[in-house]
Every structure is written in structure tokens, then in C-alpha cells.
Amino acid sequence: MLKLLFLFITLFSSICFADEKEIAITMDDLPLVASRMDTPGNRQRSTERFTQIVQTFQKYKVPVTGFVIAGAIEKGQWDFLEQFRQAGFMLGNHTYSHYNLNQINTEKYIADVDRADKILTPIMTQPKYFRYPYLAEGNKAKKQEVYAYLKKHNYTIAPVTIDSKDFDFNEMLYKVPYRSRVNYIQKLKPRYLAYIWKQTLRAEKNSKGGNTKQILLIHANLLNSYVLGDILEMYQKNGYKFISLTEALKNPAPIINFSPAMKKDTLGAQLKNEFINIPKSKENYVTPE
């Protein structure tokens, strides 16, 4: 099934795109979503998952930029960030508390960004990048106030042109018992890859040529510790060149911004309906390539 999916993607993309395609991969919520370091077992699993992510980026030579939630750094996870940076990757600010600017006042939000800035200064790379949690930039007044702070502190805002919505897929994975996850991922993976590609086609269509650069948003989570390589392989097989965020910002495709007026995405509900009841027979799972 995966082979058929990649064949369809390759044929369809060859029709849609004529120019050279370039994409920057960005990863939010470092060090690692929902990870714990409170027991030897949890420390080992978190370390293995994070290392798998780093090694996969290295394998595909991706100049990734990661965005750190400073308040989510568990004891022992500063080493994760050092590992990420020493691999040649960039690290930016994703606030301390991951607040949604559409839901709190500007003063509290800026204080939270500043708190993260002080913690992350020793590990952040240059140029300094900031990513809004939830891609929420607030109303016009809030946006201007936060922008003034970011400019004063030499931050460049990191936009997104392709949103993977991987948090919905990751949530479904966590609902599956630990010992059943490997099998479940083989069912979830084709849908996840197809969704990312659908988002990519939409972004390319909105770009209307001009050799614009795409910027993909994914998260440092359990799901991507398993399937990151498949995502990168999909882009690579379809002629995409991996570039840095810095390069992508020279000519980015139309960006995504979550405004208070946007309708709630229904992907999570769709996934719940389609995947919550998984038949236990072996035939229902897609075998790996």
C-alpha cells in the first residue's frame, strides 16, 4: 500500500510542479512532546526517541530548525538540545509556556517569551528565530506589540506554509496500548503521509509559481520518532531539496496564520471516527516496505 501511495504521489507531483522544489523542515515543541525523565525506563525511551529523530535528520542531510518550549525542558533534557545543536541544527524560541496569543493578554505573553529568551540564550543559534505557538499572532494590536518586542531582541519570526497537523495523529497513537503501537503505526502512517502531501499540494497551488520555498511544520513527538524518515523520503522522492529556514525566508510561499476567526479543524474528529476501533486481525495492518 505504501508503494502505491508513493507511486501516486510521484505521478501527481510530476504533473503539478515544473520548477525546482525546495522545502525547509521545522520542528516545534522540543525537547520532546509528553516525554518524562522520572524513571530509568522513561529516560531510556525519551533518549532513544530523540536520538532517532536527530539521526534521521542527519541521514537525509536536513538543515532543520527546532523550536524549544523552555518550560518543558525536563531534568536531563538539556543534553537533548546540546545533541541537536551539535548535529549542526538550529534552535529557536517557542516561548516558555506555549501560550496561545489569541487567548491571553500581550503583557503576559511577552513576559513568557522573555523568560524563555533568558533560559535559551546559551543554546539558541543565530540568527534568532521565534515561532508562535499554535501559529497564533493575535489581533492587530497584539501582533504589533509582540513584534516590537521581537524586533528589539533581534528575533526573526518563523512562519509556516505547510502544517502537518501531526498532533492529531500523535494523539491517536497515544490512545493505543504501548505494545500495540508498532502495528498501529503501520495503519496510521499511510493516512498521515497522504495528509501531509495533501497539505503540500495545497501550499504549492497557493504559491502560483515563482519558485517560492515551502516551510513544513512538524513536532518533536512520538509519532515522528517512528515515521520522520518516511516523511523525508516522500519529499526527496518527489524532487524536493531540503534547505534551511534562512534560505526559505528569502522567498517563502504564502504563510499560514491561525486567527481567532478561523474555523476549528475537523481532522481530529475524523481520525477518531476512522481509527479508534482497530480490528485485531493481522490482515488489517499494512506491512512495512
Q: How many domains does the chain have?
A: 1
pLDDT given at position 76: 94
The residues of the chain scoring below 70 in pLDDT are: 1-19, 259-289
pLDDT given at position 178: 86
Mind spelling out the 3-state secondary structure of the chain? Answer: CHHHHHHHHHHHHHHHCCCCEEEEEEEEEECCCCCCCCCHHHHHHHHHHHHHHHHHHHHCCCCCEEEECHHHCCCCCHHHHHHHHHCCCEEEECCCCCCCCCCCCHHHHHHHHHHHHHHHCCCCCCCEEECCHHHECCCHHHHHHHHHHHHHCCEEECCCCEECCHHHHHHHHHCCCHHHHHHHHHHHHHHHHHHHHHHHHHHHHHHCCCCCEEEEEEECCHHHHHHHHHHHHHHHHCCEEEECHHHHCCCECCCCCECCCCCCCCHHHHHHHHHCCCCCCHHHCCCCC
What pTM does this model have? Answer: 0.87
Q: Is residue 21, in this structure, part of any structural domain at all? A: yes
| Domain span at 14 | 2-284
187 Cβ neighbours under 8 A, 6+ residues apart: 275, 278, 284, 285, 286
Q: What cell numbers appear for 289 in the block?
A: 516496505
Task: Give the Cα separation of 263 and 177 in Å (integer).
Answer: 32
Q: Any idea what the CATH number is for the domain that residue 196 is in? A: 3.20.20.370
Task: Give the Cα separation of 256 and 254 in Å (integer).
Answer: 7
pLDDT given at position 176: 92
Q: Is residue 289, in this structure, part of any structural domain at all? A: no
pLDDT given at position 273: 57
pLDDT given at position 208: 83
Task: Give the Cα separation of 153 and 50 in Å (integer).
Answer: 30
Task: Give the Cα separation of 236 and 145 in Å (integer).
Answer: 39
pLDDT given at position 284: 27
Task: Give the Cα separation of 92 and 150 in Å (integer).
Answer: 12
Q: What cell numbers appear for 263 in the block?
A: 474555523
Model confidence pLDDT, tens digit, residues 167-187: 999 999 999 998 999 999 999
Model confidence pLDDT, tens digit, residues 175-231: 999 899 999 999 999 999 999 999 999 999 999 878 899 999 999 999 999 999 999
End-to-end CA distance of the chain: 9
Cis peptide before 31 (omega within 30 of 0): yes
80, 123 contact by CB (below 8 A): no
Using DSSP bridges, classify how beta strands 214-219 and 162-163 pair: parallel, antiparallel or unpaired: parallel
Q: Is residue 28, in this structure, part of any structural domain at all? A: yes
105 Cβ neighbours under 8 A, 6+ residues apart: none
Q: Is residue 114, in this structure, part of any structural domain at all? A: yes
